[in-house]
Amino acid sequence: MTGSASLSYSVVIPAHNSVETLGEAIASVLEQTVPPADIFVIDDASTDDTARLAAEISPAVTVVTQTRTGPGGATTHGISLVKTPLFAGLDHDDKWLPEKAERQIELLRLRPEIDAVFTHCRQFRHGEDAAPDAPPRRGWIRTTMMIRTERAREVGPVRDFPGSGDMVDWLGRAKEAGLQFAMIPEVLALRRIIPSSLTYGNDAAVRRGYLRVAHDALRRRRARTDEPSGNR
C-alpha cells in the first residue's frame, strides 16, 4: 500500500478466560493484508490457559499478565505498551476480516484530520458461522477501532463499569476532548455473541453500567457549564 508504510500499527487484545475464542481472534489479525508491528494480548488474570495459548499461537504475540481489572483496565495497560503511530483494539471473542487494517490505515493516511476510524460489523452466535446476510451494524466498539496512539493517550484510561459501558464512556470522553471519528460503511469485523457471557441477557448489569456512564457524562457537562467563561 503506497505511502502508508510509516503508519504502522499495533493490536491490543484484552483477554480473560478466553481459550475458546482467542485463537480465532489472533488468527484474524495474522491474516491481515497489512500485518501489525505488534500484537499485545493483555491476560486479565485468567484462571485457564489463555496466556499459554496466546504465547503458543505465534511469536508475533506478546503476552502480558496483570491482576484482574476488566477489559477497560486491560486495554489501558495495552495502550501503554504501544510504540507505533496507530493501534487497534480487538475483543478476545471477535474477529477481523482480512482487509480491515489496510482500509483503516489508508483512510487515516488520506485524512490527517481524522483521529480514529471505525467500521461496520456483523454479529454471529458462538458455535455458528457468521451469516453473510446478517444485518450490518455501525461498530462504535473496541473491535472495530483504529486510532492514532498519541491522541488516544490524551483521552486517559479506559475505565471499567459494572456489566458494560467501558468503551461508551471512553468514546464519549474522546469526543469531549475534540477527537474526530470516521466510520467506514463496509463490514470489516465480526462480533461474537456468547449466551453464557457476563452481560448477555443480563439486562440489569448492562443498565447499571450505562447508567453510570450517563451519570458521569452529565457530571462532566455540568462541570464545564459551571466553569468561569475566562477559563474556557
Of 81, 74, 41, whose CA–CA distance to 160 is shortest?
74
**149 pLDDT exceeds 80?**
yes
Domain segments of the chain as ranges: 9-226
Residues ≥6 apart with Cβ < 8 Å to 6:
85
Instruction: Note the pLDDT of residue 73.
Output: 97
Three cell numbers, residue 14: 484484552
Instruction: Note the pLDDT of residue 3.
Output: 47
**114 pLDDT exceeds 50?**
yes
pLDDT in tens, 83-103: 999 999 999 999 999 999 999
Residues ≥6 apart with Cβ < 8 Å to 131:
122, 124
Confidence class for position 204, pLDDT limits 50, 70, 90: low
- Yes or no: is domain 9-226 CATH 3.90.550.10? yes
Residues ≥6 apart with Cβ < 8 Å to 38:
10, 11, 60, 62, 81, 82, 83, 84
- pTM attached to this predicted model: 0.86
